[in-house]
Amino acid sequence: MQISKRRESITQAMANYGFEGDVICQLEEIEKKVKTYSARKRMFAEKFDELLTEEQRLSLWEYGGMCTGGETGARAKKFAKELTGSLAEKVAHLNESGQFYKVELNEDGTITAYCGCHCLQYRIDKPDKEDVKLREKIPSAYGCAAGAAFHNIKKALGVNARIKSIDYPQKGDGRNYMPFVIEVIEG
């Protein structure tokens, strides 16, 4: 049975962050008992949303990030070394590079970022009914992607920050991405 490293990292981050053992056990049971990978992914996200508040989920995404390695993580490290100047100049450079998430510096000093999640893309050649269910407004499924993007953006820009909000796609709105707002913390 395929166990997701990402979901394993979520439960480990939850333990490190001080979540109750019962909550973690309920999530881990899904990995052990549900047979298909896509059904486990959907059921994990549903249970995660059921057991945790939005505030807890945002805190966990900020704390753990989830999918922060790979090519995007390497690009974030590279940008962190190269980027100089004001926050506005760094944001402009990221967008001009075409190799990173789209980010916008707002007038109030927050950053709006746009990201999608490869886990939630429809498989055109093999539509999976579980993935379709997962896309139907399960915040945690998208929060994980926002958490990963948040950590990479924070790393690239060299800022302390927190996730202020996530605009989750709604069922039927056709979006494969979600904007989320990052609040830069001074000091």
Over residues 81-124, the pLDDT tens digits come to 988 899 999 999 988 988 788 899 999 999 999 887 655 544 43
- Mean pLDDT along residues 8-33: 82
Q: What percent of the chain has pLDDT over 90?
A: 18
**Domains of the chain (ranges, CATH numbers):** 5-185 (3.90.1520)
Residue 129 pLDDT class (50, 70, 90 cuts) = low
Indicate the length of the chain as a whole number. Answer: 187
103: left (phi over 0), alpha (psi -120 to 50) or beta: beta
- Would you say 137 and 171 are in contact if contact means Cβ atoms under 8 Å apart? yes
H or E element, residue 102: strand 102-105
**CA gap 93, 100 in Å, rounded:** 10
